[in-house]
Amino acid sequence: MMRSATLSLITLPDKHILLATRLSDSTVREEVNSMDRKLRNSGLILALGAALLLAAAPLVSAQGQSKKSPGGGAAVSPLAGLGSISGTVKAPKEFKAAKVYAKNVDKNVVYMVFTENGRYQAVDLFPGNYEVSATKNGFTGSDVQKITIAPGGSATADLTLKEGTYRPNQQMRSGLPKDEPLVSYDELYPPSHARQTIERTCIMCHGPDFLPNKQWDESQWNDAINLMQNPNDNAGARLVPGTFAAGEREELVAYLVQNFGPDSKKRGLAVPDEPIDEKALGKAMFIEYHIPPLAKGDRGFHDAHLSQNGDVWYVDARGLQIGKMDPRTATWTDYPLAGAQYRGHGLTQDAAGDIWVAGHTAFVRVDSKTGAIKYYPYDTEAKKPPHGNTPFVDSQQNIWESLSWANSIAKFDHTTGEVSVYKTPTDNSFAYGMVMDKNDKVWLADWWRCKVTKFDPADSQWIEYAPLTRPCTMRRVFADHNGMIWYALEWPGKIGMLDPNTNKIVEYALPLKWSFPYDIQQDHDQNYWIADSGQGGALIKFEQKTKTFTYYPYVQRTDMPKIEVSNENSIWYTTRAADSKEQALGVLYPDKSKIQTLAASY
């Protein structure tokens, strides 16, 4: 059923403080225990605490940890039954933070660590056969060494890099060639008024490497623009009336044909390297668990969600699967969906342990014990798929989701089974990421219209907040431990914080041009973590007090559309934009000496 609602609009033309007509409860600013916040958001209740501790007891004994020493070159003891690899990396000239890969070929699990002063150590490795190698931009990768790790064992692999060719970084988007020529921005997009039009329309959504890889003629470029302006397209009009002034569309098409026409060559934008903090990287370790291929069809991850028992649940949007992976054993279980109309995007878990997926046309409920799946349509009379995006569980165990193509949010009532739909106040907003704060208020990221939108279920009131920087695109929002609302602006590469009590907004620019921050989350040490596709894929730690950013470069080139922070401050992600044969669930341990278990819970 469709519900009506009222709206308060707060705009921000050139000011740093928003004066709202309605304020949130003052209690939003109260300190919230980080575990309590995650339990509330994932639908768990504190009454389950004792049961969860009992269930986790075998994990503690099986993967208990002795005291570890931090640092890339310092000795770190692995978890019980697991192993380690250490060694040196040498090269003919000075380098910092080379990447060392240890691939378990039996389980198809890849570990990656960084060197510190030429030394490295990878810990908590599954027993089995490994291929170990090192890479560093500007060098030729080392030879691959094959070694075997016994349970509780250790091995040494010393590696050597050779002189090689430096290649600039490149933004990551699905389908981009891996070895195309990379050029400067002015060479890729010659300065002109048409370039300014491209920057406020095409690039801020697709990134700078999308257009140069098309080689379309005038008719094809016009068709593409028509699609973006078509209000009857399933996703709606991306370019709304008024986007182009008189003559701008014709000017744009001529520019596109001249620079990216049939006779042009595929090429991409050379972007700067990330700043290197070798000491921080020397402590870190990535693990990527590669999913087994399907018997038929390709894999394609979107979101992941950590669970009550330590498994990681995932949406395989391309393969039409919902599944779970146990990171303690690297075992996978798929649950096939009934058809493409139910393909998923995001997912969450309720207090009973059931998994809820934001499906294309329906709420999707997966019994986590049996794998049985039920479907609850958003709107049986919808003329186009609503396209569910991000689900959340409120304190009453109701399920809420953002519906991107319907510009709405939906609620599944836990008690009655009724589905209600609430229309967002702005058309063509493309409601994307969503979060619920501790007072059960809904917060949305409007991707295309770039606003933070608040919905109060108690009175069906809406409030929209405009970021300081515009034009912009926004994918995700996050409610931190203190009730502050954070957002990530893919374009123009900033993060922002909204105080719901004062309506003051502060924004921070990422240090590298062409950053594309997708998501932002907070760990339990008050650091903020950002998923960025701008340099080919990186996780970035932001310390608000010092306003410093620390970069953790990718294992493989990819974007990371949604990140999740565990109760041990490990950062989980999916490799959505990677090759279909290299799809993986990944995790960054910022300090491998602090790993207590491979299980992943909030």
Whether the bond into 471 is cis, omega within 30 of 0: yes
Element (H, E) at 9: strand 6-10
Banded model confidence at residue 110, pLDDT cuts 50, 70, 90: very high
- Of residues 63 and 80, the one with the higher pLDDT is 80
Banded model confidence at residue 72, pLDDT cuts 50, 70, 90: low
Banded model confidence at residue 187, pLDDT cuts 50, 70, 90: very high
pLDDT in tens, 277-287: 999 999 999 99
The reported pLDDT for the residue numbered 74 is 55
What beta strand segments (E) does 457-555 contain? Answer: 461-465, 473-479, 485-491, 494-498, 505-509, 517-522, 528-532, 538-543, 548-553
Asked whether residue 46 carries a pLDDT value surpassing 70, the answer given is no
What beta strand segments (E) does 272-343 contain? Answer: 285-290, 301-306, 312-316, 321-326, 331-336
> What pTM was estimated for this model as a whole?
0.88
CATH superfamily for 2-48+273-594 is YVTN repeat-like/Quinoprotein amine dehydrogenase (2.130.10.10)
Domain boundaries, the chain: 2-48+273-594, 83-163, 182-269
| Lookup: tokens for 109 | 């699990």
Handedness of CA 206, 212, 215, 216 (dihedral sign): positive
Q: Domain 182-269 falls in which CATH fold?
A: Cytochrome Bc1 Complex; Chain D, domain 2 (1.10.760)
CATH number of 83-163: 2.60.40.1120
Whether the bond into 70 is cis, omega within 30 of 0: no
Q: What percentage of the chain carries pLDDT values higher than 70?
A: 87
Determine the average pLDDT of the residues in 377-387: 95
Mention every residue, 6+ apart, whose C-beta is less than 8 A from residue 338.
373, 375
Banded model confidence at residue 357, pLDDT cuts 50, 70, 90: very high
Mention every residue, 6+ apart, whose C-beta is less than 8 A from residue 226.
none
pLDDT in tens, 223-249: 999 999 999 898 889 898 999 999 999
Read off φ and ψ for residue 228, nearest 5 degrees.
-65, -25
The reported pLDDT for the residue numbered 1 is 45
Asked whether residue 87 carries a pLDDT value surpassing 80, the answer given is yes
Banded model confidence at residue 60, pLDDT cuts 50, 70, 90: very low
User: Quick one: DSSP state of residue 37?
Assistant: H
Average pLDDT in the chain: 88
The reported pLDDT for the residue numbered 497 is 98
